[in-house]
């Protein structure tokens, strides 16, 4: 695969959030603000790049029976390392992400890319795929987080200071008072509705796009299963 | 892999060895990261606790190690939980300037509300915050000091001001306005603060420790604490 094809797959044609629908649980739960969406997106991307790289290095030499077990072990170790690092250097973000940080282990996006792509590709491609898939996931998280934050709290990037690790509680844009926010946008049903609108937008674009572009989704490596 | 002529037993042993190696490698990675981050994690947890306390202590100065100067308390009737509650003592030049308590309001609208209460040695409330709660967002979460200043009304109050019987929401004949639409939450918070002050009054001497000299109330000098 060419680098451009890998990037296109991750960010657009096989976008984890909008096409493969992988990792919906953290996607919906954490995207309550731009800051936490960005935080979880970056953490997931870091794990994905590292796991893809490692899996590409060791994957082909592993006996088939234990391949997935080893992948899970590697991913769990990487996620634990990321969690410890965040807890040490960005405790505010660590607290904001809560249980969804260790749950990156169970984000099937990470295992899916390890098994379906990284284990069969040279390490350069695998790293790029980790970046592209992680980036595609990050973009959806940030977009959903921004919309939900604006609708629900009337601010954008209001908790970005948590990401930067500074103590001040002012950052971002404040458009209107939080008490006028649209609460539904912050609750889980609002996340589903907004993601549904995102999917509809994506499908509408797909339907009107030239036939050449639509082939890519059908040949997607992973079936589009909704799973945590 | 498909054309591997190895016998099943040898394959299994090889797989076991590979899996064990991977487990050791994963363990090693986590162990190294844990070792590198341990001190920083402990330090940032301390900093977070102290920042939380600072929110209810306001400008009050103290110079002791708050997190080490603690008492373990248990009073299900007044503190709202059968579990032990930790009291943290803030001192300045050895004299107590505040006691921090985390009483539980068991009767919140959506379960227990953990409050954080700073009480001055004379029994006056210095500040109140919420340690954790699950009240309805937008309705009952006015008890979160980041979202509303409702909790500030308790600063400066004590068990005599108003009298014990008036430590209730106005609807029940007390002195405190309930938050519109969230009477249950308001009632739980007001009642718990009143009961905690009662607890403080009963156990004042133990809570303040032996370094308190008579009844003299230490002023809070404007010195930067370390």
CB distance B40–A88 less than 8 Å? yes
The per-residue pLDDT for range A55-104, each reduced to its tens digit, is 888 877 888 888 888 988 999 999 999 999 888 888 877 877 777 888 88
Please state the domain count of chain B: 2
So what's the pLDDT on residue B145?
81
A73 lies within 8 A of chain B by CB: yes
Using DSSP's 3-state secondary structure scheme, residue B114 falls into strand
Q: For residue A62, which residues of chain B lie inside 8 Å, CB to CB?
A: 18
Q: For residue A188, which residues of chain B lie inside 8 Å, CB to CB?
A: none
Chain A residue with Cα closest to B25: A74
Q: Tell me whether residue B107 is in a domain.
A: yes
Q: Tell me whether residue A227 is in a domain.
A: no
Q: How many CB atoms lie within 10 A of CB B57?
A: 22
CB distance B44–A88 less than 8 Å? yes
Contact yes or no for A27/A137 (Cβ under 8 A): yes
The per-residue pLDDT for range B147-192, each reduced to its tens digit, is 788 888 899 999 888 888 888 898 888 889 888 888 999 999 999 9
CB distance B138–A87 less than 8 Å? no
> B63 Cβ partners below 8 Å, 6+ apart?
B91, B92, B93, B223, B225, B226
So what's the pLDDT on residue A119?
86
Q: Tell me whether residue B223 is in a domain.
A: no
What does the block give as tokens for A202?
Answer: 């994506």
Q: What's the complex ipTM?
A: 0.71
CA distance B172 to chain A (A): 27
CB distance B47–A91 less than 8 Å? yes
Same-domain check for residues B117 and B160: yes
Write down which residue in B57, B80, B104 finishes a domain: B57
**DSSP class of B89:** E
Q: For residue A77, which residues of chain B lie inside 8 Å, CB to CB?
A: 25-27, 29-30
B10 lies within 8 A of chain A by CB: no
The per-residue pLDDT for range B7-51, each reduced to its tens digit, is 778 888 888 898 999 899 999 999 999 999 999 988 888 888 888
Q: Tell me whether residue B183 is in a domain.
A: yes
What does the block give as tokens for A47?
Answer: 């794990």
Q: In Å, how far are A101, A185, B38 from A92, measured between CA atoms?
A: 13, 23, 17
Q: Tell me whether residue B222 is in a domain.
A: no
Same-domain check for residues B52 and B24: yes
Same-domain check for residues B43 and B99: no
Same-domain check for residues B84 and B115: yes
Domain that holds residue B24: 1-57
Domain that holds residue A34: 3-207
Give the E-state strand segments of chain B in sequence order.
Answer: 70-73, 85-92, 95-101, 104-105, 113-119, 125-132
Same-domain check for residues B75 and B47: no
Q: Tell me whether residue B220 is in a domain.
A: no
Q: Tell me whether residue A182 is in a domain.
A: yes
Same-domain check for residues B53 and B164: no
Strands A155-156 and A173-174: antiparallel
Q: In Å, how far are A135, B30, B109 from A49, measured between CA atoms?
A: 10, 18, 44
Measure the CA–CA gap between A6 and A22, rounded to whole angstroms: 17
CB distance B18–A76 less than 8 Å? no
For B199-219, b/e burial (b = at least 16 CB within 10 A) is bbeebeeebbeeebeeeeebe
Beta bridge partners of B105: B113
Same-domain check for residues B43 and B124: no
pTM of the model: 0.69
Q: For residue A70, which residues of chain B lie inside 8 Å, CB to CB?
A: 18-19, 22
Same-domain check for residues B33 and B87: no
Q: Tell me whether residue B218 is in a domain.
A: no
Burial degree of A211 (CB within 10 A; 0-12, 13-18, 19+): exposed
Q: Tell me whether residue A226 is in a domain.
A: no
Say if residue B162 is preceded by a cis peptide, omega within 30 of 0: yes
Same-domain check for residues B28 and B78: no
The per-residue pLDDT for range A11-60, each reduced to its tens digit, is 888 888 888 888 788 888 888 888 888 888 888 999 999 999 988 888 77
Q: Tell me whether residue A28 is in a domain.
A: yes
Same-domain check for residues B10 and B74: no
Same-domain check for residues B118 and B181: yes
A186 lies within 8 A of chain B by CB: yes
Same-domain check for residues B111 and B192: yes
Please state the domain count of chain A: 1
């Amino acid at each position: 695969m060419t680098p451009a094809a890998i990037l296109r797959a991750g960010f657009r044609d096989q976008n984890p959030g909008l096409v493969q629908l992988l990792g919906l649980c953290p996607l919906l739960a954490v995207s309550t603000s731009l800051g936490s969406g960005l935080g979880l997106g970056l953490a997931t991307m870091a794990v994905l790049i590292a796991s893809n790289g490692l899996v590409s290095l060791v994957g082909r030499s592993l006996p088939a029976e234990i391949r997935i077990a080893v992948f899970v072990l590697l991913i769990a170790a990487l996620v634990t390392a990321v969690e410890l690092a965040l807890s040490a250097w960005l405790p505010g973000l660590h607290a904001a992400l809560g249980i969804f940080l260790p749950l990156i282990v169970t984000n099937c996006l990470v295992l899916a890319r390890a098994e379906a792509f990284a284990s069969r590709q040279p390490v350069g491609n695998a790293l790029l795929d980790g970046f592209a898939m992680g980036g595609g996931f990050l973009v959806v998280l940030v977009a959903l987080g921004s919309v939900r934050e604006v609708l629900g709290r009337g601010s954008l990037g209001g908790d970005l200071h948590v990401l930067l690790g500074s103590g001040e509680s002012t950052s971002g844009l404040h458009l209107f008072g939080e008490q006028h926010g649209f609460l539904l946008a912050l609750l889980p049903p609002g996340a589903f509705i907004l993601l549904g609108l995102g999917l509809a937008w994506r499908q509408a674009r797909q339907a009107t796009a030239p036939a050449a572009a639509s082939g890519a989704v059908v040949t997607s490596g992973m079936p589009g299963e909704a799973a945590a | 892999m498909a054309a591997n002529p190895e016998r099943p037993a040898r394959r299994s042993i090889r797989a076991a060895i590979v899996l064990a190696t991977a487990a050791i490698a994963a363990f090693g990675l986590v162990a190294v990261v844990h070792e590198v981050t341990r001190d920083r994690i402990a330090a940032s947890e301390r900093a977070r606790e102290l920042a939380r306390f600072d929110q209810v202590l306001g400008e009050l100065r103290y110079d002791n190690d708050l997190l080490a100067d603690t008492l373990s308390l248990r009073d299900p009737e007044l503190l709202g939980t059968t579990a032990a509650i930790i009291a943290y003592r803030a001192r300045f030049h050895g004299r107590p300037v505040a006691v921090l308590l985390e009483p539980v309001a068991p009767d919140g609208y959506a379960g227990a509300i953990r409050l954080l209460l700073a009480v001055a040695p004379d029994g006056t409330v210095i500040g109140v915050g919420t340690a954790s709660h699950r009240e309805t967002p937008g309705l009952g979460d006015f008890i979160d000091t980041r979202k509303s200043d409702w909790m500030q009304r308790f600063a400066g109050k004590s068990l005599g001001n108003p009298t014990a019987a008036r430590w209730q929401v106005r609807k029940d004949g007390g002195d405190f306005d309930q938050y519109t639409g969230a009477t249950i939450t308001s009632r739980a918070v007001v009642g718990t603060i009143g009961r905690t002050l009662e607890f403080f009054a009963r156990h004042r001497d133990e809570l303040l420790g032996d370094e308190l000299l008579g009844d003299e109330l230490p002023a809070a000098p404007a010195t930067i604490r370390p």
